Amino acid sequence: MHPDTEIRYVSKEIGIGVFATKLIPKGTIVWIKDDLDIILDEDYIDSLEDIRKNFIYKYAYEDHDGKYVLCWDHARYINHSFNPNCVDTAYDFELAARDIQPGEQLTADYGALGDDEDFECMPEEGSTRTKVTANDYLTYYAEWDLMAIEAFKYFKDVQQPLRHLINKQYTDKVNAIANGAEPLDSILTIFSYDEDAEDEK
């Protein structure tokens, strides 16, 4: 998680969230999957007692290999928004979709996780959506891709304290995108990996 963030209380309904302690400029990596994150199989999770199992299912996300990832840092507390200021990419990191001001909460659209559960959300000003669904990625991927493309335009011009954590398999591609030499891969490619994995089962 970006170092200029901290956990703060939001409300009784929401609980806690992740907030910027300094300006985080558009195009900055705000979260990245790294080797300290805990990777768990679903069978193992289901073997646990309810307290730990429920915690993992609440705070972990399922990756494109069908594993559950429990972030080791406070990234697990990033809350959902239909008007997020962070945007997912196909490269295991999220970017600031716009300048995030000091004291502002970092948010992401949970629909981009391709979750296997639908859930109702609190109404938000500026959005007609009230529910996250398992198929949101099919409807909104182009919108998320455009957000990521716009954020990538600033990638080289801002400080990137998490850049050294980019997975080596993505380094050349990310550099090429940042330099304008290659197009961004759609977030939809992550879900095509999921579908291929399901087909092989």
Q: Is residue 55 part of a domain?
A: no
Of 65-69, 70-74, 194-198, which range is least confident? 194-198
What's the whole-model pTM score?
A: 0.91
Report the distance separating Cα 146 and Cα 196, nearest Å: 25
Q: Is residue 162 part of a domain?
A: yes
Q: Is residue 59 part of a domain?
A: no
Side-by-side strand order, sheet with 38-40: 38-40, 68-70, 61-62
Task: For 68-137, give the DSSP string.
Answer: EEE-SSGGGGPEE-SS-SEEE-TTSEEEESS-B-TTPBPEE-GGGGT-SS-EE----TT----EE-TTHH
Q: Is residue 56 part of a domain?
A: no
Q: Is residue 166 part of a domain?
A: yes
Reduced 3-state DSSP string for 168-184:
HHHHHHHHHHHCCCCCC
What is the extent of the structural domain holding 86?
Answer: 5-37+72-200
Nearest one of 63, 4, 57, 64 to 31, comparing CA atoms: 4
Please report, as a single letter, which amino acid is at residue 188: L
pLDDT digits (tens, 9 = 90+) for 6-61: 999 999 988 999 999 999 999 999 999 999 999 999 999 999 999 999 999 999 99
Look up residue 101 and give its two tokens: 């001001």
DSSP reduced 3-state for 13? coil
pLDDT of residue 169: 95
> Looking at residue 149, which CATH number applies to its domain?
2.170.270.10
Report the distance separating Cα 15 and Cα 163, nearest Å: 30
Report the distance separating Cα 139 and Cα 167, nearest Å: 28
Q: Is residue 111 part of a domain?
A: yes
Q: What angle do CA 4, 122, 151 make, to 5 degrees?
A: 40
Q: Is residue 13 part of a domain?
A: yes
pLDDT digits (tens, 9 = 90+) for 77-133: 999 999 999 999 999 999 999 999 999 999 999 888 866 668 888 888 888 888 888
| More confident site: 64 or 162 | 162
Q: Is residue 54 part of a domain?
A: no
* Domains identified in the chain, total number: 1
